[in-house]
Amino acid sequence: MLRAAGLTMPEIAGRLGVSKPSVSLWVRDVPFEGRPGRTGARRRGPNALQRRKEAEIEELRASGRSRIGELSDREFPVAGLALYAGEGSKRDGCVAFANTEPRLIKVFYQWLRRFFDIEEDRLRAALYLHQELDLDAAIDYWSSLTEIPPAQFRKPYRAIPNPSIRKVKHEYGCLTIKYCCARTHRAVMGLVHALLESAGGQPLSREQVQGRRLVR
C-alpha cells in the first residue's frame, strides 16, 4: 500500500493518475507516518476556516448516522429502489447497476441478493478501466467486495487515456453488475414505478416542508 509506505496523498494521486479526493477516500483508514529523512517544506496544519469546516462535516455525519440508524426490512428495499431508480438500467431484460463508489456497489448487491430470488451463477460483472491501471488488482478488489467469482467477470473495456478530456481516473475502475432475467427486472421496475407514484403525490405545503427539513 502506497500510503502505508509513507507516500503523501498528492504523491499517490500523481503516481496513479487519480484525484486527491479519491485517494483520500481509499486511504482514510490507513495509518500514516511520513518517510524518515524526508526533506522539503514543513507541512502546515489546517487553518481556522478549514477546522470549522471539518468539524461541521463530522458533526453532520454523526447526526446523519444517528438519524438513519440501521435500515429495517421495510426501509432497506425502499432505499435500494431509490438508488436503482436513479442509477440502474431501465432497459427491459437485465437488472444492471454501474458505479465507481464501492459503498454504492455494496448497497446494490446486498439489496439485490436480499430481496430478490436470484441465481448466483447468473450474476455477471464487467469493468471499465483505463489501460495503464492494473486489471488483475481491480478484478481482485471488486471480486472480493461483491463475492462474484473472477470467472463471472466479462471482458473489460480498457479506456485509452485522454488528458484533454479526463484527468481523474479511478484506481479500480467502474464496475457494472448485471443480472439478466426479464422477470426480475420487471419486478424491480414495478416497484420503482410504485415508489415514484407514491413519492410524487400531493405537493407539501410550505408549513409541511419547513416541518420536515432534514438539516436544522
What would the pLDDT profile of 78-104 be if each residue is shown by its tens digit?
999 999 999 999 999 999 999 999 999
Residue in the block written with cell 479506456:
159
Distance between CA atoms of 34 and 46, rounded to whole angstroms? 17
Specify the pTM. 0.68
φ/ψ of residue 90, rounded to 5: -100, -5
- Mean pLDDT estimate for the chain: 84
Q: What is the pLDDT of residues 37-93, one digit of tens each?
A: 555 545 667 788 888 999 999 999 999 999 999 989 889 999 999 999 999 999 999
Distance between CA atoms of 40 and 130, rounded to whole angstroms? 32
- Radius of gyration, alpha carbons of the chain: 21
Residues of the chain within CATH 3.30.1330 domain(s) are: 75-199
User: Residue 4: pLDDT above 70?
Assistant: no
With contact defined as beta carbons under 8 Å apart, do 57 and 63 qualify?
no
CATH of domain 75-199: 3.30.1330
43 vs 215, which has greater pLDDT?
43
120 vs 23, which has greater pLDDT?
120
